[in-house]
Amino acid sequence: MNEQAEHKMNTTPIIELESLADGMPVMAVQAEVAYAEKIKTGQARSGTQWSRQFFVLKDPTGEIGVTMWDAEGNEMKKGEHVTIENTQNKKGQWSGMTKESYQKNGERKHALSIRANQVKISSRQAEQTPASPVESPKQAEPPKTAENKPNEDTGILETRKHLMQSVNLYNLCLDAADTVVRPHLKQMYSDHPEITSEQFWQVVGQIYKEASNKRTNDGVNWWSFIDKMPEHPIK
């Protein structure tokens, strides 16, 4: 983890993050780590290794769940006071820390998505205070977000999120085919204006395949447009 920042910056209070649209960059946050899970690792279909950590940040205005990718070597620990600053990538984009949200039990939940290799992290340990003889259950219990709800299969949750993102992308492909491709085909084949259902769905499938293919901007981090879809229905 980087050394503590030597300069001060404008940070966004957690309560103000709720008003940002999904995908909007967040320039800086300063908060305490109220809860932190162990880092999880795995391998993508492309063979690229990934690591991820979920934790909760807390400041005087509220709390927010955070999913941090490329987490190895940057592990957050409960009780740390952290400052996280966004940085620009090679294309000049502020993509290291963005606002996200998801639906849970009909309620919209706010979150942050972080790429640890695209942000600057500084931290310090919280000042030691005398421990209470008995910690109340409300203090000890972490926020029940979709990422850390006790006794819930995280594999099912992750699958649901991925499927919803995939369905959202498919719906956009369907709209594109219906709005742009269908009229174009009718114009091209004016002598046979009818377009079979099989032809139409074949076009939708081709568009979806292209949009869902994995791609990379730097040869290291692979992504598809499925990853950019929200985890709640857009239709």
pLDDT in tens, 156-211: 777 777 788 888 888 888 888 888 877 776 666 666 556 677 777 888 888 888 88
Whole-model pTM: value is: 0.51
The tokens describing 76, both together, are 């957050």
The tokens describing 149, both together, are 């709800």
Q: Is the pLDDT of residue 4 over 80?
A: no
pLDDT attached to residue 8: 52
Query: Minimal CA–CA distance to 87: which of 192, 167, 5, 194?
Result: 5
Distance CA(180)–CA(37), nearest Å, equals 46
Residue intervals in the chain for CATH 2.40.50.140 = 14-145
The percentage of the chain sitting over the pLDDT mark of 90, rounded to a whole number, equals: 32
Q: Is the pLDDT of residue 36 over 50?
A: yes
CATH 3.40.140.10 fits 14-145, yes or no: no
The backbone torsions φ and ψ at residue 179, rounded to the nearest 5 degrees and listed phi first, read -85, -35
Q: Is the pLDDT of residue 146 over 70?
A: no
Q: Which residue(s) pair with 33 in the sheet? A: 57
pLDDT in tens, 75-129: 999 999 999 999 988 888 888 999 998 887 878 889 999 999 999 999 876 554 4
Spacing of C-alpha 209 from chain mean position = 22
Average pLDDT (8-35) is 89
Q: Is the pLDDT of residue 143 over 80?
A: no
Q: Is the pLDDT of residue 216 over 50?
A: yes
